[in-house]
C-alpha cells in the first residue's frame, strides 16, 4: 500500500483550518442567497443548499473532529468550530426571516402559520390534518414502559410537556411525536382559498395547530420541534468482512442511529425541554442550535418546486449538442477515429456520453464494455444500458464503488441488478475508493480489436451533469485506451500490471508526478525562465502539495489556484506566499472541473495540462483510485485553457479572493461571470442579466 506522508513532513508554514474553510465555503453559498441579481426562488434554493451542506458537515466532518478530540483531549477545537457554525446558522435564519420571507410575500408567495390563516384556510387545514396526517401519527407519552424513543438521524419530531393526568391517572408529563417522513413537508393550499396569492403551509404548522387533539383530556403546556443530526459515516472494517456488499447493506440499517452530534430546536423551546433532549442524546450545551424558523430549511425545496413564476427562477438553459465536433447522426466510433472529442458540461450536453454507450450496446461488433460507477443515482439510463448490454451477451464489467458516501444503497441495488443479468461486478480494492471515471468499449473491426474510451472529471450521472461543471474526453488513442484497460485489469485481478504510460493513477503515480511538475516550475523560476501554475480543483488540503506550491511561489513562480471549497494554503503572506493567489467561484452551477496546468519554460515541451477525477487532498492521492490524463491535442488543450481556466481567473462577479488570514472577500459586485459567459458562448439558453 502506498503510504501518505505525515503532516509533520511537509508544510512547515501555518496552514488554514480545513473545517473552518468548509464553513467559509457555505458562507459564500449563503451570499448567493443575498444577491439581488439572483432570481428570488433561486436565492431560497441557495439557502436550502447551505442547510443540506451543513447537515453533511455535522454528519461527517464535525463527527470526525469530535472523535479526534476524544482521543487527543483537544475539545477546544470542537467548541471553536461549533461557535462558527452557530454564527453561520444564525445568519442563515436572519436572511430567511428579514429578506427572503418579505420578498416572497411581495411576490404573492405566502407561508401561512396558524395565526395568519383565515377561517376557510383553517377549516381546510383541519380536514387535511384529520384525513391525511393524524392517521399516521403515534404520540408516545414517556414513562418506564415507554422510554424515550430511538430518534433517527435528521428525522423531524415534536416534544411536548403535558398538563393533567393520562387515562390511567398518572402525571407523565413528556411526550414525543414523530413526524412521518412519507408526508410532504410543504403543502400548497387550494387557489380559491388564497385570493390570487400562492398559499403554503408547513406540515409542522399543521401538526402544531392540532397538537392538543393528540392528547385528549390533557393540555399541551409547552412544545417544540426538534431534530437530531448523527454521525453518519459508515464504518466497515474491509479487512475483516467476507462480503463487503452484505456488510454495507447491514450497516445502512444502523447508519440512522449513530452518535448524536447536533440538536436543533426552535428558539421558543423552553429551557427544560431542550435540557431534557440534550440529556437524552448525551450532548453538551454547544451542540444545541436554537433556530428562528422552521427546523430544517432543506424542506423548503418542496416550496420552490411547487411555486409558480418563471421570473423567479433562472431562465431555462438547455445544454448544446456539440454539432460542430460531432454532427448528429454520425457514429461516435467513426468520429473518434478522426480524433479526440472534448465535452464541457453543462454547457455542452451529456447526451453524447449516453449515445456512446447506447451505440456500443446496440452495435453487434462491440464485444466488451467496462465502466466505473461512483455516483449515478437511483435512476440511470446508463445503468439500464449496461444491463441491456449484458442481456445481449456482451462482456460487461462494472466497478461499482459501494462506499460512495450517501449513495451506498443505490449502488448496492445497481450491483445486484447487474449481477442478476450476468455482468461481472467488482467493488474495487480493499481500503481504496474507486473514484476514477472511465468507460472503455472494445470493438471488433475487421481482423483487429479496437478500443474506445470516455474519461471524465465528473460522475456518470445525467442529472448532475446539468448542474455541475465537468469536462469529459472521448478518445480512441491507443495509449490512453491501453492504460485504461490496465486500470480495469488491476481493479479486477489486483495483480501487478505494467505501469500506465499516459494516465496518471492514484495511489501510485499521481501525487509524485504533480510534485515533480511543481518542482520543474520552481526550477524554471530560479533559472529565470517562464514559470506558471494554474490549478482548478474542489479542495486543496494535501500538505505535501501545499508545501511544494509554497516553495515554487517563493522561487518566483506565478501561481493561481481556483479552489471551490476547502483550501488550507494561505496566499499573500509576505515572504511565504505573496506570488500565490487563491480564488473561489460560486455561481449558478456547482464548480466541479479539475484542471492542472504547468509551464516551466518557453517551448511546447515545457508545458503540461491534465484533466483529473482527483482533488488535491490526501484521501484522493493515497486512499482512492483516481486518474489524471493529459490533453495533448493543441486545439483541445487551448480550448480547456480558454474555457476552464482563463474565464475563471477574470471572473469579477461570482469570484471570491482568499486573504492570508483565511477570510474570503468578494472580488466585485458587478462585472464578468465565467459561467454566464460560457452559457452565452454555447447559446443553449438565455443567461440572466
Per-domain boundaries in the chain: 7-312, 332-499, 506-682
Is CATH 3.40.50.720 what the domain over 332-499 is classified as, yes or no? no
Confidence band of 493 (pLDDT split at 50, 70, 90): confident
Q: pLDDT at position 246, please? A: 62
Distance CA 687, CA 362 (A): 37
Which helix H or strand E contains 102, and what residues bound it? helix 101-106
* Bridge partners for 141 per DSSP: 175
Cell of 125: 387545514
Confidence of residue 1 (pLDDT cuts 50, 70, 90): very low
Segment (H or E) for 396: strand 395-400
Antiparallel, parallel or unpaired: β 624-630 and 433-434: parallel
Asked whether 515 and 548 are in contact (CB, 8 A), the reply is: yes
Fold match between domain 332-499 and domain 506-682: yes
Please tell me the chain's helix, strand, coil percentages from 3-state DSSP, rounded to the nearest 5: 40, 25, 35
Q: What is the pLDDT of residues 403-435, one digit of tens each?
A: 656 667 788 888 889 999 999 999 877 788 899
Residue 542, pLDDT above cutoff 50 = yes
Query: For 567-608, what is each residue's pLDDT tens digit?
Result: 999 999 999 999 999 999 999 999 999 999 999 999 989 999
HSE-up of 471 (CA within 13 Å, CB side)? 26
Between residues 539 and 375, which one has the greater pLDDT?
Answer: 539
Buried b (16+ CB within 10 A) or exposed e, 278-309: bebbebeebbbbbbebbbbbbbbbbbbeebee
What average pLDDT does the segment 649-663 reach? 96
121, three cell numbers: 384556510
Per-residue model confidence (pLDDT) at position 5 = 53
CATH fold of 506-682 reads Endonuclease; Chain A (3.30.870)
Q: What is the pLDDT of residues 95-146, one digit of tens each?
A: 999 999 999 999 999 999 999 999 999 999 999 999 999 999 989 888 766 8
Question: Which are the contacts of 448, defined by CB distance < 8 A and separation ≥ 6?
Answer: none
- Which pLDDT belongs to residue 162? 92
Closest CA to 472 of 682, 674, 629, 684: 629
Q: Which residue has the higher pLDDT, 14 or 686?
A: 14
Partnered with residue 429 across adjacent β-strands are 432
Choice among 69-83, 164-178, 382-396 with the minimum mean pLDDT: 164-178
User: pTM for the full model?
Assistant: 0.92
CATH architecture label of 7-312: 2-Layer Sandwich (3.30)
Active site positions, annotated: 435
Q: Which residues contact 57 (CB under 8 A, 6 or more apart)?
A: 19, 22, 23, 26, 85
The pLDDT value given to residue 73: 73
**Which pLDDT band, with edges at 50, 70 and 90, does 496 fall under?**
confident
Amino acid at each position: 500500500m502506498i503510504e501518505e506522508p505525515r503532516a509533520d513532513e511537509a508544510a512547515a508554514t501555518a496552514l488554514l483550518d480545513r473545517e473552518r474553510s468548509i464553513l467559509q465555503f457555505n458562507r459564500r453559498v449563503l451570499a448567493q442567497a443575498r444577491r439581488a441579481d439572483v432570481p428570488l426562488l433561486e436565492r431560497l434554493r441557495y439557502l436550502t443548499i447551505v442547510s443540506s451542506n451543513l447537515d453533511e458537515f455535522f454528519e461527517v466532518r464535525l463527527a470526525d473532529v469530535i472523535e479526534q478530540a476524544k482521543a487527543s483531549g483537544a475539545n477546544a477545537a470542537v467548541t471553536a468550530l461549533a461557535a462558527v457554525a452557530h454564527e453561520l446558522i444564525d445568519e442563515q435564519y436572519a436572511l430567511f426571516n428579514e429578506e427572503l420571507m418579505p420578498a416572497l410575500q411581495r411576490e404573492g408567495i405566502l407561508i401561512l402559520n396558524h395565526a395568519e390563516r383565515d377561517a376557510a384556510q383553517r377549516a381546510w387545514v383541519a380536514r387535511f390534518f384529520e384525513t391525511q396526517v393524524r392517521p399516521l401519527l403515534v404520540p408516545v407519552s414517556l414513562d418506564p414502559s415507554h422510554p424515550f424513543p430511538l430518534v433517527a438521524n435528521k428525522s423531524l419530531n415534536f416534544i411536548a410537556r403535558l398538563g393533567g393526568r393520562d387515562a390511567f391517572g398518572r402525571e407523565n408529563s413528556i411526550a414525543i411525536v414523530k413526524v412521518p417522513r412519507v408526508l410532504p413537508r410543504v403543502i400548497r393550499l387550494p387557489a380559491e382559498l388564497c385570493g390570487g396569492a400562492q398559499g403554503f403551509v408547513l406540515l409542522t404548522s399543521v401538526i402544531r395547530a392540532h397538537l392538543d387533539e393528540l392528547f385528549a383530556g390533557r393540555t399541551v403546556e409547552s412544545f417544540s420541534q426538534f431534530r437530531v443530526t448523527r454521525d453518519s459515516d459508515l464504518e466497515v472494517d474491509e479487512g475483516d468482512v467476507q462480503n463487503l456488499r452484505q456488510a454495507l447493506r447491514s450497516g445502512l440499517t444502523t447508519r440512522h442511529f449513530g452518535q448524536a452530534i447536533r440538536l436543533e430546536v426552535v428558539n421558543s423551546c423552553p429551557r427544560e425541554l431542550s435540557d431534557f433532549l440534550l440529556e437524552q442524546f448525551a450532548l453538551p450545551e454547544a451542540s444545541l442550535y436554537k433556530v428562528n424558523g422552521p427546523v430544517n430549511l432543506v424542506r423548503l425545496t418542496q416550496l420552490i418546486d411547487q411555486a409558480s413564476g418563471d421570473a423567479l427562477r433562472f431562465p431555462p438553459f438547455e445544454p448544446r449538442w456539440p454539432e460542430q465536433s460531432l454532427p448528429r447522426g454520425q457514429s461516435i466510433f467513426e468520429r473518434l477515429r478522426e480524433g479526440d472529442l472534448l465535452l464541457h458540461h453543462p454547457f455542452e450536453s451529456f447526451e453524447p456520453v449516453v449515445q456512446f454507450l447506447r451505440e456500443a450496446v446496440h452495435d453487434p461488433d462491440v464485444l466488451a464494455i467496462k465502466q466505473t460507477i461512483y455516483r449515478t443515482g437511483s435512476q440511470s439510463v446508463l445503468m439500464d444500458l449496461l444491463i441491456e448490454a449484458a442481456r445481449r451477451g456482451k462482456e460487461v464489467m462494472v466497478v461499482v464503488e459501494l462506499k460512495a458516501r450517501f449513495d451506498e444503497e443505490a449502488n448496492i441495488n445497481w450491483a445486484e441488478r447487474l449481477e442478476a443479468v450476468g455482468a461481472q461486478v467488482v467493488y474495487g480494492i480493499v481500503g481504496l475508493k474507486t473514484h476514477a471515471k472511465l468507460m472503455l468499449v472494445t470493438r471488433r473491426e475487421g481482423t483487429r480489436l479496437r478500443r474506445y474510451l470516455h474519461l471524465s472529471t465528473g460522475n456518470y450521472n445525467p442529472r448532475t451533469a446539468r448542474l455541475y461543471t465537468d469536462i469529459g474526453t472521448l478518445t480512441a488513442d491507443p495509449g490512453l485506451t491501453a492504460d485504461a484497460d490496465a486500470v480495469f485489469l488491476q481493479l479486477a485481478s489486483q495483480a501487478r500490471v505494467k505501469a500506465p504510460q499516459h494516465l496518471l493513477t492514484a495511489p501510485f503515480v499521481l501525487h509524485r508526478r504533480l510534485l515533480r511538475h511543481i518542482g520543474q516550475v520552481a526550477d524554471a523560476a530560479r533559472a529565470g525562465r517562464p514559470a506558471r501554475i494554474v490549478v482548478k480543483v474542489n479542495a486543496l488540503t494535501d500538505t505535501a502539495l501545499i508545501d511544494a506550491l509554497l516553495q515554487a511561489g517563493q522561487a518566483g513562480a506565478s501561481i493561481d489556484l481556483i479552489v471551490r471549497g476547502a483550501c488550507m494554503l494561505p496566499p499573500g503572506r509576505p515572504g511565504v506566499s505573496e506570488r500565490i493567489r487563491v480564488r473561489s467561484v460560486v455561481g449558478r452551477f456547482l464548480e466541479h472541473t479539475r484542471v492542472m496546468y504547468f509551464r516551466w519554460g518557453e517551448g511546447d515541451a515545457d508545458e503540461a495540462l491534465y484533466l483529473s477525477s482527483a482533488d488535491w487532498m490526501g484521501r484522493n492521492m493515497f486512499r482512492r483510485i483516481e486518474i489524471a490524463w493529459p490533453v495533448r491535442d493543441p486545439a483541445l488543450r487551448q480550448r480547456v485553457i480558454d474555457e476552464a481556466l482563463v474565464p475563471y481567473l477574470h471572473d469579477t462577479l461570482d469570484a471570491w479572493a482568499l486573504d492570508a488570514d483565511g477570510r474570503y472577500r468578494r472580488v466585485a459586485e458587478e462585472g464578468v461571470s465565467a459561467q454566464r459567459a460560457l452559457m452565452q458562448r454555447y447559446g443553449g439558453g438565455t443567461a440572466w442579466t
